[in-house]
Amino acid sequence: MSDDLGPWMEGLADANAPAALPDPGTVLGTYKLIEVLRDGGMARIYTAEHTGLARRVALKMLAPQYAADAKMRQRFFSEARAVNRVEHEHLVSITDFVEDSGPYRYYIMELLKGETLRDRLTALRVLPMQRAVAIMGQVADALAAIHEAGIVHCDVKPDNVFLSERAGQRDFAKLLDFGVAKFEESGAAPISGEVLGTPAYMSPEQVASKDVDYRSDVYSFGVVLYELLTGKLPFAAASPDDLAVKQLSIAPPAPSKTALLPERIPEALDTLVLQCLARDVDARPQSMQEVLLRLRMISHPTGVWTAMASRLRDLVATRRRLVLGAAAAGAVL
């Protein structure tokens, strides 16, 4: 290359390089960036303030190196659209999104005050059983709602559960981050795609790059509940490969056998967690609604179990009829 062209080419390369993420103080439309809340691989979350209303919000911005990629932009905004489709108290409210603002792509959501479940685990290492069940009951409620809307979260983990206080209720949970979620238009057939998620919380079918459906979230939910109750992950592994082998080949010990606290874990909870962690998807609870009902039966006084048990029997009977009906249809075909 000619020496005369060198500086010109370097300048051209700089011009084509992705823009850097903006610093606090930058004004984007009607929002002023105040501070960085969280940095992730794909995106950064800021505290921002509406310049006209002086209202504080969270602004999630796609990293510029991904903003130039149409597929990554689609994935990013799928999160905003997915959450907007499901209005639920245990999901974050998203109020606006900007798909074309120069080099920046972002959306606006409610600003939460509190800490993630990961922060709580780091501080306490393990949670008392009733508190763990109460928090995960809310997560199960949120997952049941998104599953009904045809969405599989694919990355259920403590980092993606936020705890705050609401109307005097302690540990009010919100399910976060649908950035790797998968979507079904019909809400019936399993879906497939790239292997995405966090290895320690992945279902065996995710690890094996197989099709995933709602029961993959059931497995990941079981991993989180196991960790809250015991202070440990279901599998101790020396490497990612070792972890994958264990996820695909063995069953974990019951939570009651490994718990750090002396508090007794009831058999019903032991059984539920281990069923969520079954390698065979058909051996797991077949819906988060079933998981939620069973958690409520475990956490409520004996006197209210009868009605819940009746609902659970109806749910299981309905599931059995659907399975038998599908099998019969297959036999006819």
Kindly report the CATH number assigned to the domain that includes residue 159: 1.10.510.10
User: How many residues are present in the chain?
Assistant: 333
Higher-confidence position of 37 and 195 = 37
Tell which of 77, 109, 141 closes a domain. 109
Residue 111: count other Cβ atoms within 10 Å of its Cβ.
Answer: 18
Q: How far apart are the first and last CA of the chain?
A: 68
Range in 139-148, 177-186, 271-280 the model is least confident about = 177-186
Based on the fold, state whether residues 36 and 177 are members of the same structural domain.
Answer: no
Same structural domain for residues 134 and 265? Answer: yes
Same domain, 89 and 204: no
Residues 125, 239 within the same domain: yes
d(CA 80, CA 330): 38
Q: Which of 109, 131, 158 marks a domain boundary?
A: 109
What is the Cα–Cα distance from 36 to 48, expressed in whole angstroms?
9
> Quick one: 122 and 167 in the same domain?
yes
Residue 187 binned pLDDT confidence (cut-offs 50, 70, 90)? very low
Q: Is position 151 within any domain?
A: yes
Q: Is the pLDDT of residue 79 over 90?
A: no
- In the residue annotation, 155 being an active-site residue is answered as yes
Can you tell me the mean pLDDT for 38-47? 88
Catalytic residue among 155, 159, 171, 177: 155
Q: Identify the pLDDT of residue 293.
A: 96
Question: Which residue has better confidence, 83 or 198?
Answer: 198
251 within some domain:
yes
Report pLDDT for 207.
94
In tens, the pLDDT along 232-259 reads 999 999 899 999 999 999 999 999 998 8
Q: Which range marks the domain in which residue 89 is found?
A: 15-109
Q: 256 or 2, which is more confident?
A: 256
Q: Is 70 exceeded by the pLDDT of residue 318? A: no
Clarify whether residues 160 and 35 are in a common domain.
no
In this predicted structure, the answer to whether residue 312 has a pLDDT above a threshold of 70 is: no
246/141 same-domain check: yes
Give the rounded distance of the alpha carbon of 68 from its chain centre: 25
Tokens encoding 277: 């962690």
Look at residue 97 and give its three-state secondary structure. Answer: strand
Does 40 share its domain with 128? no
Tell me if 112 sits within 8 A of 212, measured CB to CB. Answer: no
- What is the tally of structural domains in the chain? 2
Claim to verify: residue 142 and residue 52 sit in the same structural domain: no
For residue 285, is pLDDT > 50? yes
**Dist CA 58 CA 104 (whole Å):** 15
Positive/negative CA dihedral, 176, 178, 182, 184:
positive
Going by pLDDT thresholds of 50, 70 and 90, the confidence category of residue 185 is: low
The backbone region for 171, taken as left when phi is positive above 0, alpha when psi lies in -120 to 50, beta otherwise, is left
Same domain, 244 and 298: yes
- 78 and 122 inside one domain: no
Task: Output the domain CATH number for residue 19.
Answer: 3.30.200.20
Residues 255 and 269 grouped into a single domain: yes
The answer to whether 172 and 194 are in contact (CB under 8 A) is no
Contact assessment for residue 60 and residue 93, using Cβ atoms and an 8 Å cutoff: no
Spatial distance between the Cα atoms of 174 and 112, rounded to a whole number of angstroms: 9
Task: Determine whether 70 is exposed, middle or buried from the number of CB atoms within 10 Å of its CB (0-12, 13-18, 19+).
Answer: exposed
